[in-house]
């Protein structure tokens, strides 16, 4: 199977995984990216059984609405039953690097509210150690140079993602050449730099389960 076929297969598996957990009050959190898009398209097939969703980006909200799936503001929701999203990398503790699609801040907010975070990915995303994928960091525009200098002090090579403005009106720095042996500590340290809105390490709130599509089938993985 191609990478795209694997993404479709795992998106389909996520539907089978979440549907038994939902009742008529459940709210489903929806991620962002190509794997999440396949999930949204499959969700449309069972939309009669879905109460409502919250979206982690304007792009996902637009796609949900185009299928006639109800989308709520997170502020009117008490609880997100389950959050389904892709990832750029996952280690074996299910700590993630996310934000390749620049939606990391809203993704992290929805993950924080969710009772269960289901990560869906093709096998290429499962790694021993985070950091081969450049770490996305959302930054207040006026702090761009300051934050970049601080990131150099941490040992990485920050690169401004040209032409990208997040849904929150901010910019993205991608941190290259920066392996992450202690994801929790690094997540805290980068968040402490003044001007950083969020960084793409999801370690303080990792995924609860990783559905991984491989050539051998779908694996359901917990933290090791
Ligand atoms: C967007 C994300 C995505 O989940 C991540 O980039 C994976 O994307 P894809 O499913 O297209 O491979 O974090 O901000």
What distance in angstroms lies between residue 86's CA and the mean position of ligand 1's atoms? 5
Residue positions annotated with a catalytic role = 107
130 touches 63 (CB < 8 A): no
Select from 30, 31, 136 the residue to mutate for testing ligand 1; criterion: most ligand atoms less than 8 Å from CB: 31
Phi, then psi, of 144 in degrees rounded to 5: -55, -50
102 touches 164 (CB < 8 A): yes
Per-residue exposure over 75-111, b if at least 16 CB sit within 10 Å of its own CB, e if not: eebeebbbbbbbbbbbbeebbbbbbbbbbbbbbbebb
pLDDT tens sequence across 97-114: 999 999 999 999 999 999
pLDDT tens sequence across 23-80: 999 999 999 999 999 999 999 999 999 999 999 999 999 999 999 999 999 999 999 9
99 pocket-lining for ligand 1 (C-beta < 6 Å): yes
- In three-state secondary structure terms, 167 is coil
- In three-state secondary structure terms, 72 is coil
User: Which pTM was predicted?
Assistant: 0.97
69 touches 47 (CB < 8 A): yes
């Amino acid at each position: 199977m191609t990478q795209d076929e694997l993404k479709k297969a795992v998106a389909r598996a996520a539907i089978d995984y979440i549907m038994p957990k939902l009742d008529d009050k459940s709210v489903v959190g929806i991620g962002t990216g190509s794997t999440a898009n396949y999930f949204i398209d499959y969700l449309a097939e069972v939309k009669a059984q879905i109460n409502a969703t919250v979206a982690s980006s304007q792009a996902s909200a637009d796609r949900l609405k185009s299928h006639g799936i109800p989308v709520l503001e997170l502020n009117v929701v008490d609880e997100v039953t389950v959050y389904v999203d892709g990832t750029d990398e996952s280690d074996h503790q299910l700590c993630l690097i996310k934000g390749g699609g620049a939606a990391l801040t809203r993704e992290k907010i929805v993950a924080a509210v969710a009772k269960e975070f289901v990560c869906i990915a093709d096998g290429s995303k499962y790694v021993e150690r985070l950091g081969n994928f450049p770490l996305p960091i959302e930054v207040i525009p006026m702090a761009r140079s300051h934050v970049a200098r601080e990131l150099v002090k941490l040992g990485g090579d920050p690169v401004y993602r040209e032409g990208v403005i997040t849904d929150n009106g901010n910019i993205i720095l991608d941190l290259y050449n920066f392996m992450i042996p202690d994801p929790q500590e690094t997540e805290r340290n980068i968040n402490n730099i003044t001007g950083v809105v969020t960084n793409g390490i999801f370690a303080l709130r990792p995924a609860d389960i990783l559905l991984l599509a491989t050539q051998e089938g779908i694996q359901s993985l917990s933290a090791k």
